[in-house]
Amino acid sequence: MEVVHDLGRWRDSAQATRARGRVVGLVPTMGALHEGHLALVHAARERGDVVFLTIFVNPRQFGDAADLARYPRTLEADQALAESVGVDVLVVPSLDEMWPDYPRDTMTSVHVTGLGDVLEGEGRPGHFAGVASVVAKLFAVTGPCRAYFGEKDYQQVAVVRQMVRDLALPVDVVDVPVVRDADGLALSSRNGRLSAHGRVQALALSRAIASAARRSAPASVLRAAMRAELARAELEVAYAEIVDPLTLQPLDDGARGAARALVAGVVEGVRLIDNGPVTLGQEE
C-alpha cells in the first residue's frame, strides 16, 4: 500500500492509475475506520477499481470546536486496517496541504443551496458548506474517478450528487447501503463515545426508522410512529422527518410511493443520525 501525504504526489498517482487504463475508486473518510468504511472499500474492489482512501478530519465542517477536538484520531490503526482490506493508496494530507490559510476562513467555498440547508444543515449551520468544499477539493486533486459514500450520511450523499451534477465534475458517485451492528445501531465513528447506557438509548434511532419502514402509510402516520419511538427513549431529538428522496423536502399526506425517513438525536452529548427507505400509502 502506497501512503501519500502531499497533494502533488496524490494527483500524480491518480493520473498514473488512469494512464494504465484503470479506474480510480475514491473512498473519502475522516478516519476512525470501521466496517461501514470497509464496505466502501469492498464495493470499490468489487468493481475492479484501484482504491484511494483518504483520511482527513476536516475542520471546516465542524461548527463546534469541542466536537472537532473530541473527534477520534486513530491513524496507526486505520493504516493497518486499510492495508488489510486491500487499499492501494492511502492519502493522509496535512491540514496545511488542504487548508493553508486555516484557521482563517478560506475565501472559496461551495454551498449547495436547499439540500445543504435543511435537516443536518439547519441544526449545524455551515456544516454542508464545509463538506461540499472539502469533497470538491478531494475531487479536484484526484481527477476523474468513482467516489464511494455511505448511505448512513444520506443527506451528505444528496449534497455531493447535486454538486457533481451542477459543476459537471467527472465523478461517478456510488452510494453504499447503511452498515449496522448486530443490535441495529448504524455504524459511526462517534459510537465509541457512548457509554453502555447511552448505546442502549441510541438504539431508539434505528427502531424509529424500522417503525416507519415496516408499514405503508401517510407521511404524518410514519412521522408519529418515529417520534413515539424516540420519545420512549427520552433522548434529545433534533428531527424525525419523512422527505422526498431527492429534494429532502418534507412530504405531506398527499404523497405516495418511495420516500426517506431521517432521524437525528443527541445522546450523552453525541449527535447521531440514521435513515432508511419508506413507502407512503393509504391509511392502514
CB atoms within 10 A of CB 125: 10
Let me know whether 18 and 153 are in one domain.
yes
Q: Which residues lie closer than 8 Å to 123 by C-beta, 6 or more apart?
A: 238, 239, 264, 271
Determine, yes or no, domain membership for 120.
yes
Phi, psi of 50 (to 5 degrees): -85, 120
Instruction: State which of 176, 197, 217 marks the end of a domain.
Output: 176
What distance in Å separates the CA atoms of residue 284 and residue 217, rounded to the nearest whole number? 6
Tell me: do 229 and 97 sit in the same domain: no
pTM value? Answer: 0.96
Q: Do residues 155 and 204 share a domain? A: no
Give the pLDDT confidence score for residue 284 in this predicted structure: 57
First to last CA, the chain: 54
Q: How many domains does the chain fold into? A: 2
Give exposure, 196-232, as e/b (b: 16+ Cβ within 10 Å).
eebbebbbbbbbbbbbbbeebbbbebbbebbbebbee
Task: Please check whether residues 55 and 150 belong to one and the same domain.
Answer: yes
Residue 162 lies in a domain: yes
In a domain, 201, yes or no: yes
What the block records as the C-alpha cell of 42 is 469492498
Does 73 lie in the same domain as 12?
Answer: yes
Residue 37 lies in a domain: yes
Spatial distance between the Cα atoms of 107 and 7, rounded to a whole number of angstroms: 19
Residue at 283 is within a domain: no
- The CB-based long-range contact list for 82-86 (8 Å cut-off, 24+ gap) reads 82/1, 82/33, 82/41, 82/53, 83/1, 85/38, 85/41, 85/42, 85/45, 86/41, 86/45, 86/51
* Together in a domain, 273 and 197: yes
Edge to edge, the sheet with strand 257-267 lists: 216-217, 270-280, 257-267, 236-243
For residue 171, give its domain range. Answer: 2-176
42 classed as catalytic: no
pLDDT lower than 50: segments of the chain: none
Phi-psi region of 258 (alpha: psi -120 to 50; beta: other; left: phi over 0): beta
Beta strands in the chain (DSSP E): 2-4, 24-29, 50-55, 89-91, 145-150, 171-176, 216-217, 236-243, 257-267, 270-280
Distance CA 161, CA 169 (A): 10
Do 216 and 271 fall within a single domain?
Answer: yes
* CATH classification of the domain holding 229: 3.30.1300.10
The answer as to whether 118 is a domain residue is yes
Share in percent of the chain as helix, strand, coil (round to 5)? 45, 25, 35
Residue 181 falls inside a structural domain? no
**154 and 87, same structural domain?**
yes
DSSP structural state of residue 171: E
Question: 128 and 34 in one domain?
Answer: yes
Q: Residue 168 belongs to a domain with what CATH number?
A: 3.40.50.620
Q: Which pLDDT value is given to residue 283?
A: 72
- 270 part of a folded domain: yes
Catalytic-role residue among 5, 37, 42, 127? 37
Q: Which residue has the cell 479506474?
A: 23
Assess whether 110 and 147 both reside in one domain. Answer: yes
